[in-house]
Amino acid sequence: MAISLLGGGAAQPADNTSDIIKNTTTATFVADVIEASRKVPVIVDFWAQWCGPCKQLTPILEKVVRASKGKARLVKMNIDEHPEVAGQLQIQSIPAVFAFSQGQPVDGFMGALPESQVKAFVDRLIGPDADDVAGIEEAQRVFDEGDIAGAAQLYGAVLKNDRENVDAIGGLSKCYVRLGDLTRAEQVLSMAPPAKQTAEAYLSAKAALELARKAEPLADTAPLEQAIAANPRDWDARFKLALALVAKGKREAALDHLFEIVRKDRGWNDDAARQQLVELFEAWGPKDPLTQAGRQRLSSILFA
């Protein structure tokens, strides 16, 4: 791909390279795209006046790029007036979008896309906001320390900056689960766009919500504890007690009860205890120390 040759040595850096959205020509492509992309990712929209889908896509691109607040730029090129670059990129149909970074094309797509997919494309290009990453890490630390309200505030601050941040959505939903407000937890979880509903943070929060719904009717643990004291092999009571303990944040005690069932009667209720352990590990996430230790413990029991 001979993009670097376009415009030759005659191209001069444009005075307006700080513009977020601009039009370009064959003569200014090197300055507007290649050189500019060494400072910030540049998205190039190849279009033509006669192209109906182009007229749908371009306003979406402009909106999403403006929302990036300078973290990406948009350069538009009319291929009828300036066909050379499109020819070098072997563009067969439009709209065609190419993203450049550090002077090289790094991503792209053909055809008109809905705003959600365009935003995902731009988000992938610019990467996570450093402040948001730090906010998520701090929120998780505070959550792990037991300050659920404080964690919720930190996750909420990230969502003010990026309403589709799936890590913040999942984290805030878990905060509401821990606070017992399952309705709010579900509402927050519904904020995740479909394209991000396969993310680990979303799946973990969804599993935590489903688990909390199971445990909700089991708030009073005294009758369950009495039943187990009378009959240690009352697996149904032990299973329900484990769910109730999870809801109260007593996770290690809950694991002990489930492991007791798996160890003494592995096939009870169609393998319900083992399946519940797997669901817990999914809800807590693979990085949680209890998930890691619990999976090792489960393996040692199953393959002993």
Give me the DSSP letters along 235-298.
HHHHHHHHHHHHHTT-HHHHHHHHHHHHHH-TTHHHHHHHHHHHHHHHHH-TTSHHHHHHHHHH
Neighbours of 268 (CB within 10 A): 17
Using the structure block, give the residue that is written with the tokens 């069932």: 261
Place of tokens 């009870």: 268
Catalytic residue among 36, 42, 44, 54: 54
- Half-sphere exposure of residue 237: CA atoms within 13 angstroms, side-chain side: 15
d(C-alpha 277, C-alpha 262), whole Å: 10
Q: How far apart are CA 65 and CA 60, in angstroms?
A: 9
Set 51, 89, 113, 136: catalytic member: 51
- Bridging pattern class, strands 73-78 and 21-23: parallel
- Assign 3-class secondary structure to 82-108: CCHHHHHCCCCCCCEEEEEECCEEEEE
Give Cα 122 distance to the centre of its chain. Answer: 14
Rounded to 10 degrees, what is the CA torsion of 63, 66, 67, 72? Answer: 120
3-state DSSP assignment of residue 193 = coil
Structure tokens at 281: 């590990």
Catalytic residue check, 51: yes
Active site residue 175: no
Q: How far apart are the first and last CA of the chain?
A: 58
Q: Residue 109, SS3?
A: strand
Residue numbers annotated as active site = 51, 54
